[in-house]
């Protein structure tokens, strides 16, 4: 039931983005059907978030600041579930997804913690007030910094060091030791 709701929300976001791009005045002006290869399209898009150059493009073009796009990124959080994450070739894209739209920035989402009702309402109120006072918790700081070329280069460099370290740990040192 919750999955079907997410699909409906996704369709609404896609309709809103298409209507905004087409310049339509009403969001229901165009009826859009979801493509049959939707899984592959969303997989490809989520993995594109692993590229600092692409994130820089999104930040400089202003797309990262559109509420409909941020809603779409929130919808894509389902890729963090193991049954979907196993298809990712670049799992660090999920880390960038959390930086762009942190789970704490969306007070309407529990992220699967439905069994913890002890202080859920208090925690939700705390997150709402903290989100409104702190731009860092809403992902705003990361989105703003990604527009800077120096930060994009820094993120890319750190990614390189991470992959270099991972490669050395998995396959051994590249230097020949005798």
Model confidence at 9, pLDDT cuts 50, 70, 90, reads low
The torsion region of residue 116 among left (phi > 0), alpha (psi -120 to 50) and beta comes to beta
CA distance 143 to 97: 11
What is the value of pTM for the model shown?
A: 0.61
Structure tokens at 154: 């820094």
**Can you list the alpha helix ranges (DSSP code H) found in the chain?**
2-22, 38-48, 52-61, 67-75, 82-85, 93-100, 120-133, 140-145, 149-171
Q: What residues contact 136, with CB distance under 8 A and at least 6 apart? A: 142
What integer best gives the mean pLDDT of the chain? 73
Phi, then psi, of 50 in degrees rounded to 5: -80, -10
How does pLDDT run across 137-165, given as a tens digit for each residue? 678 888 889 989 999 989 989 988 888 88
CA distance 158 to 160: 5
- Per cent of the chain over pLDDT 90 is 34
């Amino acid at each position: 039931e919750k999955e079907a709701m997410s699909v409906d929300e996704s369709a609404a976001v896609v309709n809103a983005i298409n209507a905004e791009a087409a310049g339509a005045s009403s969001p229901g002006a165009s009826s859009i059907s979801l493509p049959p290869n939707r899984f592959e399209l969303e997989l490809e898009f989520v993995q594109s978030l692993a590229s600092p150059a692409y994130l820089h493009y999104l930040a400089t073009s202003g797309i990262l600041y559109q509420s409909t796009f941020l809603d779409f990124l929130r919808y894509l959080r389902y890729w963090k579930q193991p049954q979907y994450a196993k298809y990712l070739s670049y799992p660090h894209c999920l880390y960038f997804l959390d930086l762009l739209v942190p789970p704490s920035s969306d007070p309407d989402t529990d992220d699967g913690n439905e069994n913890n009702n002890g202080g859920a309402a208090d925690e939700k109120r705390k997150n709402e007030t903290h989100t409104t006072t702190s731009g860092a918790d809403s992902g705003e700081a990361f989105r703003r910094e990604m527009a800077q070329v120096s930060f994009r280069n820094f993120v890319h460099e750190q990614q390189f060091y991470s992959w270099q370290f991972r490669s050395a740990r998995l396959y051994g040192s590249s230097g020949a030791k005798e």
